[in-house]
Chain A
Amino acid sequence: MARVILRRVFIAVPVLFLVTGLAFVLVSLVPGNAANAILGQLATPEQSKELTRLLGLDDPAYVQYWNWLKTLAHGSLGQSVIDGDEVTDILNSRLPVTLTLVIATTLVSGLIGVAMGFYSALRGRSGRIADVVTYAAIALPSFWIGLTMVALFAVQWRLLPANGYVTFGVSPSDWAQSLVMPVAALSIGAMTGIAVQTRDSTKDVLARDFVRVQLANGFSRRSIAWKHVLRNAGSAILTVIGIHFVGMLSGAVLIETVFALPGMGQEVVTATSNHDLPVIQGAVLYFTVLVLIVNLLVDIAYAWLDPRVRVR
């Protein structure tokens, strides 16, 4: 078990350096542009030069990167070039919204997706029609589903708020209502993806020798399905849930924009439009750490599910 965790941490370090370094390399590919971007088209060359020097943008990329790492060591990610706020403050205030959205979506799509896929595999053949329906659900862009839901449930029938976010502390019921549509819109694609993977890996496990041996030796059908098959299909299902979690972080960027949720995704979009590099850089770091944590959790779950990983 310790090996599993160590291995992940071992990979996490290069990933973090790679991602943050990559962002710096990208920036250095277009020298001077960052300052221009901040000042806009009308800036004079002198203004631009001055800001470039002030921001330390005329330093070589590795010096900039080193400086950034040094500030990071002090727990700071720098300040937004737009309003001078600490990047950590901006992101920390927005992280809970994104986490709530993504975790709720993972739970909803995971539970329903696994149930659907498992049931479909145990029922045996799934027809072509089911395939088409599945693909239809996967193929609808989540932001479009979100907008359609707004048109129906908020505008047409006035059942739910069209957008906005209420914190749990203020009103739990409003909080729940403000999450229903974002979570649903983000869930549909992930749910179907998880269902398809669950169905396929359950089918694979069902075809394995040990299932036939258990059946032939009179194990109860319920136990074969729920205790033995589901657990053996578990690793593949978890992998796909982990991948979908990463996908949902991307989807959250769009969904937060559609539903005006004050999350990290929305912040990234704003920062991108404003060319606010410190904020983007910070968000990249936050998202990468989230992905790494999820990968670690998936690995720990693997080890729990599969003794071949855990016991040697």
Chain B
Amino acid sequence: MRHTATALLIVCALLAACARGAAAQQQQHITLTIEAADGAVLVRGPQAAVNEARAAVDAAAAPAWTAEQARAFILSNFAGRGLDALVFAEASAQGGKGVSRVETSLRRALLLGLLPPVEGLPEDAAAAVLDAAGLRHITRSDWDALSGGGQYAAIARDRRPLAVLAGTDPHDAAIIIYLDPDAKRGETD
């Protein structure tokens, strides 16, 4: 009798663990790119909702839509499901796989040709040099203050490389983030 009860308890615990795992998987956030006629929409949210959104857009013949139309469709049909949709203004599908990121020190970034010379400059002068070089930039503190979605939006805004600088000392950290315009449709989590 006692053995039967123990076995039942173990079976119940296993079932509960499996159910929790399945729920966690359902809640796992992924990022997916949906192609449209003039660009792409990056959808981020719980895996199940994102997959449903993709199926719905595919069923509604999305390639004929503009990216803005596809985004509006997703946001109106999946309101309250925790989805975040961003429109890429240029190029075609762009998923998280197209994002490459170099994290190094400022001096090393200069020696590798990733940034123009900004060592030792005050913040406004460094910003002017980076602007003139066609690089978008943000300070490390502002970057850390952004949410995950905010960081993604900052990266995806106009597809130019983004420099995240902690300062202009040679040993200050520098992150340079690139979006590959030729990246193919991809899924990331």
**A and B interact:** no
> Measuring CB to CB, which residues of chain A are less than 8 angstroms from any residue of chain B?
none
